[in-house]
Amino acid sequence: MNPETELREGLDELASHYRAVLELLGEDPTRDGLQKTPVRVAKAMQILTRGYTQDAHKVLTDALFEEKYNQMVIVKDIDFFSLCEHHMLPFYGKAHVAYIPNGYITGLSKIARVVDIFSHRLQVQERLTQQIKDCINETLKPQGVMVVIEAKHMCMQMRGVEKQNAITTTSDFCGAFNQAKTREEFMNLLRGESKRI
Catalytic annotation, residues: 84-87, 125, 153, 155
Nearest by Cα to 46 from 131, 128, 120, 132: 120
**Phi (first) and psi of residue 112, to 5 degrees:** -65, -35
Cβ atoms within 10 Å, residue 67 = 11
Alpha-carbon dihedral sign for residues 136, 74, 144, 106: positive
The alpha carbon of residue 115 and the mean position of all alpha carbons in its chain are separated, in whole angstroms, by 4
CB neighbour list of residue 172: distance below 8 Å, 6 or more residues apart? 129, 130, 132, 133, 146, 147
Cβ atoms within 10 Å, residue 140 = 24
Q: How far is 181 from 185, CA to CA, in rounded Å?
A: 6
